[in-house]
């Protein structure tokens, strides 16, 4: 497909479980972003990749959150020992160029994580 693809669309986890969320950006896009959107809130930045380099991870809420993009295309957001406050929609976005440019970010449909 031509857009940003995220999987799974929905994930239910028991508290304490580890989860992995996948993002397939638009082919050839240099930049990839992860955002967290709590219910009724706007998305909040988690982390940013330019190709395979993670240039900004200042938005990750704790060391239980880890993201990678080893080959500069697909990215995985991993959450260890999930807690109820991790319940949110996790959005991935990609853009054609690198940091500091005036690009539109194209968003995927998100993964809705529910931690019970």
Partner 1 sequence: KQEVTQIPAALSVPEGENLVLNCSFTDSAIYNLQWFRQDPGKGLTSLLLIQSSQREQTSGRLNASLDKSSGRSTLYIAASQPGDSATYLCAALSTSGSRLTFGEGTQLTVNP
Nearer to partner 1, 35 or 65 (CB): 35
Nearer to partner 1, 17 or 96 (CB): 96
55 binds partner 1, rule: CB under 8 A: yes
Q: Which stretch binds partner 1 (CB under 8 A): 12-20, 42-50, 70-78, 79-87?
A: 42-50
Which has the closest alpha carbon to 110: 16, 2, 1, 4? 4
17 binds partner 1, rule: CB under 8 A: no
| Contact status, residue 37 vs residue 87, Cβ threshold 8 Å | no
- Residue numbers at the binding site for partner 1 (CB under 8 A): 4, 31, 33, 35, 40-45, 48, 55-56, 59, 91, 93, 99-102, 104-110, 112
């Amino acid at each position: 497909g031509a857009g940003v693809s995220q999987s799974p669309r929905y994930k239910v986890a028991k508290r304490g479980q580890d989860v992995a969320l996948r993002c397939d950006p638009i082919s050839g896009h240099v930049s990839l972003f992860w955002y967290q959107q709590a219910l009724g809130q706007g998305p909040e930045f988690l982390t940013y990749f330019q190709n395979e380099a993670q240039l900004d991870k200042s938005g990750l809420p704790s060391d239980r959150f880890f993201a990678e993009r080893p080959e500069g295309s697909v990215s995985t957001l991993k959450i260890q020992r999930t807690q109820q406050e991790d319940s949110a929609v996790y959005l991935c976005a990609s853009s054609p160029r690198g940091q500091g440019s005036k690009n539109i970010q194209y968003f995927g449909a998100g993964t809705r994580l529910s931690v019970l």
